């Protein structure tokens, strides 16, 4: 209640791990720094494992691997495995670049629960314009790859971040 001196702090339930600034897209609404090339220092694998472990001890039960583009991290399967070993429900939030059937199988075997592909718009022209990169076909292929890799249909979902033109959320895949 506003003005109350009582503080009821609950443990965190969700950890958003922004693993990297590196990303093949150039979306104007992104919170990544524009000059991310000068941010060369990222947490290494052991540091991320420590963060995941500490957050789990604090009570976090869900984990989002994000970025930038988390698929640019070569250690992503290792981090997913560590998250699974800790008991997290894990979600990959991705542009779809680099998300092949083989990569999906590798991440699934490591323990990944869900993949969320960010789709900027339902039309290729508008999606690619907003993303600043020709990315629409990559996103469509990632959904097909997820189905071939035998992830449930809902486990590779489209998501339209932020507010965009009226058709942005009409991706036809949930």
Average pLDDT by stretches of 10, the chain with 174 residues:
72 93 74 66 95 97 94 96 98 88 93 87 78 72 63 48 42 36
CB atoms within 10 A of CB 99: 24
What pLDDT score was predicted for residue 173? Answer: 36
pLDDT given for residue 148 in this prediction: 59
Asked whether the whole model's pTM tops 0.85, one would answer no
Domain ranges of the chain: 14-25+42-159
Q: What is the pLDDT of residue 43?
A: 95
CB 157 within 8 A of CB 116: yes
Q: What is the pLDDT of residue 72?
A: 92
pLDDT of 25 reads 73
The DSSP symbol for 110 reads H
Q: Tokens 């991320």 identify what position?
A: 48
- Decide if 15 contacts 60 (C-beta within 8 A): yes
Give the DSSP H or E segment for 114: strand 114-118
What is the third-level CATH fold of 14-25+42-159?
Answer: TIM Barrel (3.20.20)
Residue 171, pLDDT score: 38
First CA to last CA across the chain, in angstroms? 36
SS3 112: coil
pLDDT at position 87 is 97
User: What pLDDT is attached to residue 24?
Assistant: 73
* pLDDT for residue 121: 76
Instruction: List alpha helices for the chain, DSSP H.
Output: 45-58, 76-86, 101-110, 124-131, 136-148
- Please provide residue 15's backbone torsions phi and psi, each rounded to the nearest 5 degrees: -120, 125
For helices 101-110 and 76-86, the axis angle rounded to 10 degrees is 30
Separation in Å, CA 25 to CA 2, 3, 68: 41, 44, 9
């Amino acid at each position: 209640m506003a003005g109350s001196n009582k503080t009821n702090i609950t443990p965190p339930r969700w950890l958003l791990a922004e693993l990297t600034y590196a990303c093949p897209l150039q979306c104007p609404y992104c919170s990544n720094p524009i000059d991310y090339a000068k941010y060369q220092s990222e947490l290494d694998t052991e540091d991320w494992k420590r963060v995941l472990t500490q957050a789990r001890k604090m009570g976090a039960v869900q984990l989002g691997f994000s970025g930038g583009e988390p698929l640019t991290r070569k250690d992503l399967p290792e981090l997913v495995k560590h998250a699974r070993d800790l008991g997290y429900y894990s979600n990959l939030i991705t542009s779809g670049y680099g998300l092949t059937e083989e990569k999906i199988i590798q991440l699934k075997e490591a323990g990944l629960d869900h993949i969320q592909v960010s789709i900027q718009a339902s039309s290729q022209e508008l999606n690619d314009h907003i993303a600043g990169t020709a990315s629409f076909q990559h996103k469509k292929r990632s959904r097909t790859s997820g189905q071939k890799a035998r992830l449930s249909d809902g486990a590779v979902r489209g998501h339209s971040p932020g507010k965009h033109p009226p058709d942005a959320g009409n991706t036809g895949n949930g």
